A and B are shown apart, each in its own frame.
Chain A
Amino acid sequence: MKHILKILTFLVAITAIWISLLQTAMIPQSYTWLLPLYLIITLGCYGLLMVGVGLMQFPTCPQEAVLLQQDVIEAKEFLKHKGVDVGPD
């Protein structure tokens, strides 16, 4: 249960800070009420950004398919020679 406790502690801490901000009114209250919303939106945007960046940088390896086909041919030849049934060409 430890990981979820870490997250809950973090959420409780943030909520405490938010409530204290509301009480002390250092920041105008109308603004403070919206802070959680801003936080969620920022989090969402950050998540989307990470997905987008990751998608653009997604590592691909087309040459590996070619190498694999070569390996398959090499393996089939050896195994056929040794009497293993590797099917029709």
Chain B
Amino acid sequence: MSQQRNSNLYSIIVPTYNERLNIALIVYLVFKHIPDINFEIIIVDDGSPDGTQDIVKQLQKVYGDDRILLRPRPKKLGLGTAYIHGLKHASGNFVIIMDADLSHHPKYLPQFIKKQMETGASIVTGTRYVTGGGVHGWTLMRKLTSRGANVLAHTLLWPGVSDLTGSFRLYKKSVLEDIISSCVSKGYVFQMEMIVRASRKGYHIEEVPITFVDRVYGSSKLGGSEIVEYLKGLVYLLVTT
């Protein structure tokens, strides 16, 4: 099978906060898995006290500061604005967003890119909830909550994607710019809002199964306040999209 030269440039935006080890591992894995792709990694660090930015500078010495862009902010300012900030510095015609805690594995990047090239989709989103995907590190209670939340969201919103809160996605840059300007939510509701608005606007969305290994240390909490936020987010999306 002939390898077509992919002349696209992919800007990978990774927001970080206290990820001095994980960011190095991610950078290594990205270079390992997409060696023949034109890409840049834009690290938006929110003033991490653990020295994440020092590590990024060391990585720049290894990989080049044209491939690894450090675009920090003074303090924690939220995920949505981190993407907007990263977008300002993105030169690519495609943007990939991913988490910095290794729950999103760079080994799926070739599949995202391939899916987009095959289908011409505006957005390719990773889904943990279909065959071929999966989650590791969740308790039964966590899975129950996730499944319940998913059924509720699907019943209310008819979103057209199987994983609403996932944040491992590939966007055409113009599409991301279009959607992000109309989103106002915070946290994971923000991810939901992005994909629902994209669906409503009629953008072509494709899915790729991904596996998600929840962080081993200090696993993501899901308490009462998160559930309330989620329900509020659902109602907001129900009424405004």
Contacts and interface: CB of A to CB of B under 8 A. Distances in A.
A, B: real partners: yes
Interface of A: 1-4, 7, 47, 50-51, 54-55, 58-62, 64-65, 68, 71-72, 74-76, 78-79, 82-87
Q: Which 10 A-B pairs have the closest CB atoms?
A: A61-B134, A59-B134, A75-B28, A54-B147, A61-B211, A64-B211, A75-B25, A84-B58, A82-B62, A50-B151
B21 A87 contact: yes
Contact of A84 (B55, B128, B155): B55
Nearest to B57: A84
Contact of A3 (B135, B211, B238): B238
B240 interface: yes
B135 A58 contact: yes
Contact of A86 (B21, B133, B134, B147): B21
A61 B108 CA distance: 15
Contacts of B228: none
Given A4-B238, A75-B29, A76-B25, A83 B58 contact: yes
A59 B133 contact: yes
Q: How large is the interface on B (under 10, 10 to 19, 20 to 34, 35 or more residues)?
A: 35 or more
Q: How would you classify the secondary structure of chain A's contact residues: helix, strand, loop or mixed?
A: helix
B222 to A, nearest CB: 15
Contacts of A68: 102, 105, 213
Contacts of A4: 238-239
B143 A58 contact: yes
A79 to B, nearest CB: 5
A13 B6 CA distance: 51
B133 to A, nearest CB: 6
Contacts of A86: 21, 24-25
Q: How would you classify the secondary structure of chain B's contact residues: helix, strand, loop or mixed?
A: helix
A65 B21 contact: no
A75 B24 contact: yes
A64 B136 CA distance: 7
A84 B25 CA distance: 10
Contacts of B132: 59
B133 A3 contact: no
A61 B135 contact: yes
Contacts of B239: 1, 4
A50 B148 CA distance: 9
Given A3-B200, A59-B133, A51 B144 contact: yes
B107 to A, nearest CB: 8
B203 to A, nearest CB: 15
Among B20, B24, B131: residue with most chain A CB under 10 A = B24
A55 B20 CA distance: 35
Contact of A47 (B131, B135, B151, B158): B151
B88 interface: no
B28 A78 contact: yes
Nearest to B28: A75
Contacts of A78: 28
